[in-house]
Structure 1
Amino acid sequence: MRSYDSVQHVRGESKFVDDLTAPEGTLFGYVFYSPIAHGKILKIDFTEALKVSGVHSIVSAQDIPGENQIGGIILDEELFASKEVHYVGQPIALVIANDRVAAHNGAKKITAEFEKLKPVFNPRDAFEKGNLIVPPRIFALGDVESVWQQCDYIIEGKVESGSQEHLYLETQGAFAIPVEGGGVKIISSTQGPTAVQRTVARVLDIPMNKVEVDVPRLGGGFGGKEDQATAWAVMAALAAIKLRRPVKIILPRQEDMRMTGKRHPYSSDYKIGLNKDGKILGYQVWYYQNAGASADLSTAILERTLFHSTNSYFIPYVKATAYCCRTNLPPFTAFRGFGGPQAMFVIESAIHKAAQVLGVDPSLIQKKNLLKEGDEFPYGQKAENCRAIKCFDEAVIKFDFQSQVNRVNEFNNRNKIYKKGIAIMPVCFGISFTTTFLNQASALVHVYTDGSVRVSTAAVEMGQGVNAKLSAIVSKIFSINPNRIRIDTTNTSRVANTSPTAASKGADLNGYATIDACKLILERLKKVAKELVGADDSSFIEIKEESVYLNNSKTEIDWIKLINRAYVERVSLSAQAHHATPN
């Protein structure tokens, strides 16, 4: 199916937050942030900044009517720093002006005095100082200490995995418009519209029903807009409510990279024990997660690290200990894999080092220890419908792995300066939210009297093609041309209490909700069609290629005639459905 978004992108017609036409009187915000990594705020002076031509106002912690708090899982992150700063780039105030240039010029005129404190950047240093966001988490299987004496080889090592920038093409941004009754509408580049809605309500001290969040689409997210898009939306809303004017905040690329979190860096230690045949008997690992200055999603990410500590392997004795360490860096956040890649990198590093010690290819150890049916993970779940060995064998054949290894070796033997490497790695990754209640979604489907269909769900389109998938679902169930179908923006007024579009579950959760909503309408339409064609039972009715069929024979009733008859008969052409993962 051709993706509507792909066509729009190629034509340059796709609308993102900064492309939307701003109402008359729109103001622009620029964030004044901490220039130091850690310190006490002694004095902030806005006097000269307010004199800059075009500057209307400056908002800071003292202007917040509700809570100065945007933390999601743990309430440990201020919207604007009030007494201390904890990383370079931490927001202190927002300058609002007629345009971005004036707002930036105003921010340059703010003067601030700090008492510098010694920052901590390394998670191991934070651990030594006791700077943990939550107590240590431990996953264990068996008594790992009892197995070391049975091992022919015991290998220990240290692994460092660094951070990565999301580098979404569209930087963080939001656009807030005050509405009557003290409410606000926010157009936000976020993966979690309800998180934005909830946090705006908390900070502004208003009910959630006065906050509408609309997400047209994202120019990339990759987890970087699951939680960290919230702050900019809240700032824009706060300024809009205070000034009674629309306010837009779009982060410049440099500020976006400086102020937002990345993938979590980990520093890890491991101890792995094997017998002489390459069977892994025991594995112990310690993860020191660099969480940054506040929790953000770090605790959930750390938990997923523990879930993936043994990757695709069964190890009978395991102990994995994880520390969530607070440092003076921007709060690290969700990134594709959500803590899983960091854990898998450690176990694979341990296997590769063990292979060097044993003098064998790492793939031999990998295959010997792959999961089998009924094997238990360190968190208690047992493998069902396990295909690890079959997948591994098929991949080796399909990609002619040994021939490629031989080619790499031949190249390396011929070249002294340039070298190539090759490796194979199985991956066992769990999709869906580990927080069970987030595994739910809703859909709202309208069929109009001209035969067109409009669909609203909680799914956010960010380049992954979820809108095309939802359109395909509706097209298949109603058996209508995809051109009749429009997938709406994601909006908290149409679909409430949304889960973030994350955890590789956007299409599944919202797709099933859409299926259920469409089926509700379809059953009503079949009852109408039964009366139209004089059928004894609606089970004899089918809708195929925009026509009504009776006992597999096409009738003269087409899609539009059927819809209009349903409308005349006062049959609802709208449906809302909710889906939650079973069991």
Structure 2
Amino acid sequence: MIVQIPRPISSGTESYGLGDPSEYPVSLPLPKLSSPSQGLESLKWPTNFLSTLQATGEAEYLDDLKFSSLHAACVLSSVSNAVIEEIDPSKALEVKGVMSFLSADTISASGYCNFIRIKQQPSTGMLCNWGSGEFKFHCCEAGRFRKGDKWQQGIHHTEMDIAIAAAEMVIVKYKDLTEPILTIEDAIRENSFFDTRGINFMKGNVGRSLGVADVIVEGEVHVGHQYHFHLETHRALCIPGEEGCMVVYSSTQNPSLVQQCVSVALNCPQHKITVNVKRVGGAYGAKLNRTPPVAMACAMAADMLQKPVRLVLDLPTNMQLVGGRSPYLCRYKAGAENNGRITAIEMHIFNNQGSHFDFEYPNLGNLPMFIEGVYSIENWKLKEKL
């Protein structure tokens, strides 16, 4: 039986005091679009502190840094679930101004590391692999080029647009193409899951509570893929220094992770890697643990060529390479009293991570915390599959 349960509109308020003036600027409430006319002139803060710089376009971001540099571009795979048979960059290298081409073979021969272990990226499990060998799904990363979570190669040029055009001239041949599993429904039908991942969680006695519930509601909820759409795409500027040092400018929310991963890529200690963050032009979480591949690729090119290299992803590459919030499917059964209070809920949640783990790695362990933060339910059972 399905019964419509009335629920009034939720509302809430939050009041912010003015704090203690003797402790200003600590506890001073600052509006986003603040200006001296709003009472801040007494603090004698420099005008460049004010966020009006962002509104007027005067604020400087990574691309505003005046460094003469080479430009890198990504070569993306065009298929999913295939084996790379051959990569031919010869036509791209004939373009005037193109200096080099980096691939898995190139960086391996130069002694670089193109793989970051899962534990070195605790929140993401992103594999930083330059493309060579098998593609698990359609997508790509940065510095080399993945279009399926693997990088293929990098073209370096003095002009960004020519670098991008040259990258499109790289010929990649594939073999052993297979039909990819793209949706959660496909994965359920094919029973394609990471068997060692996922989590089962139970609180209270769900079976008993559902058995005595006044109302039972069953159904499913699907949340599709979401792209973050930050205005500033992923990018990095790497400047080699003396004695193997590297200065990295990165549009990242996680500079310490960028430092760690770049040091692994260059096979050098972390103290030789300096990471600077000028500003982040939008992120929404997408630059928390997806920025290392861009910085790593850029750093390897800069170190090998011993020249400053800038890697700026155009929007199509950014959308294919970086990913986003992954799709979920939840099949649920909930029990409630006649007054609308939920007494028990059972959920089977599927998460589409693709061929490897992303933000939710390793086992959706945060879901119980997130779910319990919405409703206080005495009895609930959760089964998760990736």
Q: TM-score range by the shorter chain?
A: 0.7 to 0.9
RMSD over aligned CA atoms reads 2.0
Structure 1 runs of 4+ with >6 Å offset: none
Amino acid of the residue matched to residue 19 of structure 1? D
**How far apart in 1 are the matches of 2:282 and 2:321?**
18
**How far apart in 1 are the matches of 2:372 and 2:323?**
27
1:176 aligned residue: 238
Contact map agreement 1:150 1:275 (CA 8 A) in 2:
no
Q: Deviations over 1:323-377 (max 9, x none)?
A: 22xxxxxxxxxxxxxxxxxxxxxxxxxxxxxxxxxxxxxxxxxxxxxxxxxxxxx
Amino acid of the residue matched to residue 187 of structure 2? A
Counterpart of 1:132 (choices 190, 194, 204) is: 194
Residue 291 (structure 2) pairs with residue 246 (structure 1): no
Counterpart of 1:122 (choices 172, 183, 206) is: 183
Kindly tell me: are residues 34 and 133 of structure 1, through their superposed partners in 2, closer, same or farther at Cα, counting changes over 3 Å? farther
Residue 128 (structure 2) pairs with residue 78 (structure 1): yes
CA shift, 1:112, in A, is 0.9
CA shift, 1:213, in A, is 0.6
Q: What are the residue-to-residue correspondences of 1:338-417 with 2, within 5 Å?
A: none
CA shift, 1:256, in A, is 1.2
Counterpart of 2:207 (choices 136, 140, 145) is: 145
CA shift, 1:121, in A, is 1.0
2:52 aligned residue: 7
Q: Which protein is bigger by CA-based radius of gyration?
A: 1
**How far apart in 1 are the matches of 2:71 and 2:164?**
10
**How far apart in 2 are the matches of 1:131 and 1:196?**
30
Contact map agreement 1:306 1:322 (CA 8 A) in 2:
no
Counterpart of 1:186 (choices 228, 248, 252) is: 248
CA shift, 1:52, in A, is 1.4
CA shift, 1:5, in A, is 4.6
CA shift, 1:32, in A, is 0.2
**How far apart in 2 are the matches of 1:14 and 1:123?**
43
1:306 aligned residue: 368
Corresponding residue SS for 1:195: helix
**How far apart in 2 are the matches of 1:148 and 1:47?**
66
2:173 aligned residue: 113
**How far apart in 2 are the matches of 1:314 and 1:230?**
38
Kindly tell me: are residues 75 and 271 of structure 1, through their superposed partners in 2, closer, same or farther at Cα, counting changes over 3 Å? closer
CA shift, 1:281, in A, is 2.0
Q: Deviations over 1:540-576 (max 9, x none)?
A: xxxxxxxxxxxxxxxxxxxxxxxxxxxxxxxxxxxxx
**How far apart in 1 are the matches of 2:156 and 2:257?**
24
Amino acid of the residue matched to residue 134 of structure 2? E
Corresponding residue SS for 2:132: coil
2:84 aligned residue: 41
2:46 aligned residue: none
Using the size of structure 1 for normalisation, the TM-score is: 0.53
Kindly tell me: are residues 21 and 192 of structure 1, through their superposed partners in 2, closer, same or farther at Cα, counting changes over 3 Å? same
Corresponding residue SS for 2:366: helix
Larger helix share, 1 or 2: 1
Corresponding residue SS for 2:256: helix
Q: Where do 5+ consecutive residues of structure 1 fail to align?
A: 325-583
Contact map agreement 1:282 1:316 (CA 8 A) in 2:
yes
Q: Deviations over 1:477-523 (max 9, x none)?
A: xxxxxxxxxxxxxxxxxxxxxxxxxxxxxxxxxxxxxxxxxxxxxxx
Kindly tell me: are residues 86 and 210 of structure 1, through their superposed partners in 2, closer, same or farther at Cα, counting changes over 3 Å? same
Amino acid of the residue matched to residue 196 of structure 1? V
Q: Deviations over 1:288-307 (max 9, x none)?
A: 01113321322268222221
Q: Deviations over 1:449-482 (max 9, x none)?
A: xxxxxxxxxxxxxxxxxxxxxxxxxxxxxxxxxx
Contact map agreement 1:309 1:320 (CA 8 A) in 2:
no
Contact map agreement 2:125 2:362 (CA 8 A) in 1:
no
2:156 aligned residue: 96
Kindly tell me: are residues 231 and 43 of structure 1, through their superposed partners in 2, closer, same or farther at Cα, counting changes over 3 Å? same
Using CA pairs under 8 Å that are at least 6 residues apart, name the structure with larger relative contact order, 1 or 2. Answer: 2
1:57 aligned residue: 100
CA shift, 1:139, in A, is 2.1
Q: What are the residue-to-residue correspondences of 1:375-524 with 2, within 5 Å?
A: none
Contact map agreement 1:40 1:117 (CA 8 A) in 2:
no
Kindly tell me: are residues 110 and 134 of structure 1, through their superposed partners in 2, closer, same or farther at Cα, counting changes over 3 Å? same
Kindly tell me: are residues 154 and 75 of structure 1, through their superposed partners in 2, closer, same or farther at Cα, counting changes over 3 Å? closer
**How far apart in 2 are the matches of 1:269 and 1:11?**
48
**How far apart in 2 are the matches of 1:76 and 1:189?**
18
Amino acid of the residue matched to residue 60 of structure 1? S
Amino acid of the residue matched to residue 94 of structure 1? G
Using the size of structure 2 for normalisation, the TM-score is: 0.78
Amino acid of the residue matched to residue 13 of structure 1? E
Q: Where do 5+ consecutive residues of structure 2 fail to align?
A: 1-29, 36-48, 146-151
CA shift, 1:259, in A, is 1.8
Kindly tell me: are residues 18 and 281 of structure 1, through their superposed partners in 2, closer, same or farther at Cα, counting changes over 3 Å? same
